[in-house]
Amino acid sequence: MKRILYILSFILVVAVACNKDKFTTVPQVSIKSITPSTVNNGNIISMKGSYTDLEGDLDSVFVVYKWYNGVLVTKKDTFRYAYSNLNLPPKTKQADISIDFEYNTNNSGVFISLQGVSRDTTATLGLILLDELKNRSTYAESKPIRLIKP
């Protein structure tokens, strides 16, 4: 009897583990890395992640940034990042993505500009994906980085 329970338990665990990797209608996003960990005036911040979407109908990318004072969020904002800026073919169901930011510059064009802070602070960057049917991914956030006052 115990042997049958062990076998059934093993099958259940394998089934649940395999199901975790399947694509879903709701987009899935994860942040793999953010560099550098300490950011000085003019540095490029590179955030790398990946996503999956069953239909491949992603429409919008939202970038969320948070500035912290210890554990409290002192500034939070969200802005839309054009999906076309990811340079992915239409109907892409799975891809690695990279978004670059430039810290405290007035340059325009290639990078998203993050403006300076009034004192050294900790920050995180995150992503939310939205598809054409308005299915919204869960929020994925980077590890904290340190922004140095210009």
- Residue 46 predicted with pLDDT over 70: yes
The reply to whether 1 falls in a domain is no
The reply to whether 8 falls in a domain is no
Structural domain span for residue 78: 23-147
The pTM (predicted TM-score) of the whole model is 0.79
Pick the more confident residue, 16 or 136. Answer: 136
* Measured distance CA(81)–CA(112) in Å, rounded: 9
pLDDT category at 75 given cuts 50, 70, 90 is confident
Pick the more confident residue, 120 or 18. Answer: 120
Taken in order 105, 111, 116, 120, the sign of the CA dihedral is: negative
pLDDT category at 14 given cuts 50, 70, 90 is low
The reply to whether 101 falls in a domain is yes
The reply to whether 132 falls in a domain is yes
The reply to whether 9 falls in a domain is no
Report pLDDT for 43: 92
How many domains would you assign to the chain?
A: 1
The reply to whether 81 falls in a domain is yes
The reply to whether 118 falls in a domain is yes
Report pLDDT for 105: 83
Tokens of 62: 């939202």
Averaged pLDDT, 68-78:
88
Q: What is the pLDDT of residues 114-130, one digit of tens each?
A: 887 788 999 999 999 99
Express as a percent the part of the chain with pLDDT over 90.
53
Q: What is the pLDDT of residues 82-121, one digit of tens each?
A: 888 888 888 999 999 999 999 988 776 667 788 877 889 9
Report pLDDT for 104: 85
End-to-end CA distance of the chain: give it in Å, rounded: 69
Contact at 8 Å (CB) between 131 and 27? yes
CATH code, 118 = 2.60.40.10
The reply to whether 14 falls in a domain is no
